[in-house]
Amino acid sequence: MSDGNMNLKLKVWRQKNTKDAGQMVDYSLEGVSPDMSFLEMMDMLNEKLVNEGQDSIAFDHDCREGICGMCSMMINGQAHGPKDLTTTCQLHMRSFKDGDTVVVEPWRARAFPVMKDLMVDRSAFDQIIAAGGFVNVNTGNAPDGNAIPISKENADLAMDAAACIGCAACVASCKNASAMLFVSAKISQLALLPQGEVEGEERVRSMVSKMDELGFGNCTNEAECEASCPKGISISNIARMNRQYFTSAIKAK
């Protein structure tokens, strides 16, 4: 277009509630700025729908800064869209072209029932975290910064694992709807540090057990999770979790 803006065709999943069958609905949107974020484009579409007397499209969002992990959308078959290491809220419309058809769907997983439109219930992740329990710490005076020796390698790996924002793109991208990348990241961020060692064996058993109980599938070993993760969480965490789990299970017998 001469002004640099785009006209888009949108196919968006609409579903009234968890029991509704749901369907794809076609929309057209004109004058989309390439500098808009994807969520701003969705806001623009909702404003149009409200002005036309239609029900707006429900979708999750919060910080819009790539931190909270709420903006869960499958865009043209890819979790968070076509850009690597990018959340939906940080995806800009310059990634698309004038006249493009953009398909927007919610995460698809048995453990994440659709609440409405693009919103899914991800409380299963909260249950897995809760199953991990607490960390025993000394609640007295703060220890000296060098009092607990931690190798730089382990500190870096723990920080990398802690970067997980729990968006569940890993689950949505896996054909088995596996949560192993998420669970292994949460386990690794503690398993690599002395502070997490006390409950380490019990934690890994409890979190893996809860993951299985909630209906998540097993790892496919195809690394779709790592490829779709907006924070680049490595599947090496899954290997670490499996080693810790099997060691813990043997000791528990």
Instruction: Write phi, then psi, for 162 (nearest 5 degrees).
Output: -70, -10
Indicate the SS3 state at residue 101. strand
User: What confidence category does residue 136 fall into, taking pLDDT thresholds of 50, 70 and 90?
Assistant: confident
Contact 129, 203 (CB under 8 A): no
Residue 165 has pLDDT above 60, yes or no: yes
Question: Which of 48, 78, 105 marks a domain boundary?
Answer: 105
User: What mean pLDDT do residues 157-185 have?
Assistant: 97
Same domain (yes/no): 133, 191: yes
Same domain (yes/no): 96, 195: no
64-73, 83-92, 93-102, 131-140: least confident range: 131-140
CA distance 246 to 198: 17
Helix (H) or strand (E) holding 27: strand 23-32
Kindly report, residue by residue over 32-75, the tens digit of the pLDDT.
999 999 999 999 999 999 999 999 999 999 999 999 999 999 99
For the chain, the average pLDDT equals 94
Domain interval for residue 10: 6-105
Question: Which of 50, 71, 105 marks a domain boundary?
Answer: 105
Same domain (yes/no): 169, 234: yes
Question: Which of 73, 105, 137 marks a domain boundary?
Answer: 105
User: What confidence category does residue 4 fall into, taking pLDDT thresholds of 50, 70 and 90?
Assistant: confident
Contact 110, 171 (CB under 8 A): no
Residue 143 has pLDDT above 80, yes or no: no
Number of domains in the chain: 2
Alpha helices, H only, 100-198:
123-131, 152-162, 169-173, 180-191
